[in-house]
Copies of this chain bind each other. A is one copy, B any other.
């Protein structure tokens, strides 16, 4: 398979952008991506695009992307895979380039969650990602859905709500130095534990905020990479895994098989193991999900995730920093943008240019788990250094 590199990356701040629509956010992310290309980008060189958006918040997504970026002559495919949308857009763009069909492709992810311009709100749409016959009538939208998993996880593993609070404290602290993050303030374990309950076992600080934003990556084939940079970040592996949709069909609530499958594919394609990963952006829509994901990604032994946060392993400065950007928890989570933005963070980390730099980061992993905990996407990136 032809090698594919990331040579540009940019994103909007993640925030409640009440005054901006998707048509404003897309050009902002693209402009920053284009400006980050070391040797410059002639926009007319872009041959194709993949666009990750969940909620169709302002008209026909592919067309909106082409129109607002001034790219009417290239094919644009919209990919939707719940919260794994962004990293699945990266995956499909990689196939397009690796196939030989294109040398230069754009990947964009975006969502407008707060006061959408559309007549249907994001949350009406989000409800529809649940099974209509069983899960939706039971109220199993995302917070309740993940709460079932984490409640069982806390019961079966030694992890406690204090460990969840430690994840929140870590990711809030990471976000303080990230100018793109939505919640740039430190919190304490006590604050997290004392916060109002959203849905047990999650308090306010266990939950991602509602965010608007966009992120963009420029992917190119190995054949043309020298035209754009001498410091490419290689896409070493991509993976996408699914699990049964309905909760009565899940065999074990304390693990996400979708993540296990996606990570196995991506790391297998890269020829790497979890221990090769230097920095990771992990799906922490709820703090307990970050803990479960340590185990599913192979960073911790079964029910051993709590040890990593206790020891500070996953803080910047530790052996395997997780969510140096602040993560979904504190950077924010516009679902279609999230996976792409994780890769933006890793692009900067692996080139030594991140706001919250992890020393010596060479291999990075981005991870999403979404839908009714039924889909996961993982991307493995490798920096230019030796």
Interface residues of chain A, those whose CB is within 8 Å of chain B, are 1-2, 56, 58-64, 66-67, 72-82, 88, 91-92, 94-96, 98-101, 117-120, 124-125, 127-133, 135-136, 239-246, 249, 261-262, 265, 269, 371-372, 374-375
Contact = CB atoms under 8 A, between A and B. Distances in A.
Contacts of A1: 99-101
Nearest to A53: B80
- Interface centre among A73, A78, A244, A246, by most chain B C-beta atoms within 10 angstroms, is A78
Contact of A60 (B99, B100, B129, B265): B129
A91 B99 CA distance: 11
Given A62-B371, A75-B239, A133 B119 contact: no
A64 B74 CA distance: 31
B128 A242 contact: no
Given A95-B95, A120-B124, A79 B76 contact: no
29 contacts: A59-B131, A60-B131, A60-B245, A60-B374, A61-B80, A62-B375, A63-B244, A63-B374, A64-B131, A64-B245, A67-B244, A72-B243, A74-B242, A75-B239, A75-B240, A77-B91, A77-B240, A80-B80, A92-B95, A92-B96, A94-B99, A95-B95, A95-B96, A95-B98, A96-B99, A98-B99, A98-B101, A99-B99, A118-B132
Contacts of A88: 77
B77 A78 contact: no
Nearest to A261: B73
A3 to B, nearest CB: 11
A119 B125 CA distance: 10
Nearest to A71: B242
A72 B251 CA distance: 13
Contact of A119 (B117, B127, B243, B269): B127
Given A60-B129, A63-B374, A73-B261, 8 more contacts: A56-B125, A56-B128, A59-B129, A59-B245, A60-B371, A66-B245, A117-B133, A120-B125
Contacts of A136: 59, 119
A146 B124 CA distance: 29
A265 to B, nearest CB: 7
A120 B120 contact: yes
Interface centre among A63, A81, A96, A128 (most CB of B within 10 A): A63
Given A77-B92, A242-B63, A117 B98 contact: no
A375 B241 contact: no
State how many copies of this chain the complex holds: 2
Contacts of A245: 59-60, 63-64, 66-67
A78 B81 CA distance: 6
Nearest to A245: B63
A16 B59 CA distance: 27
Nearest to A56: B128
Contacts of A2: 99
A299 B371 CA distance: 44
Contacts of A91: 77
A53 to B, nearest CB: 9
A50 to B, nearest CB: 9
Given A98-B101, A244-B72, A132 B59 contact: yes
A132 B120 CA distance: 11
A67 to B, nearest CB: 5
Contacts of A120: 120, 124-125, 128
Given A1-B100, A78-B80, A92-B95, A242 B72 contact: yes
A246 B59 CA distance: 10
A264 to B, nearest CB: 11
A269 B127 CA distance: 41
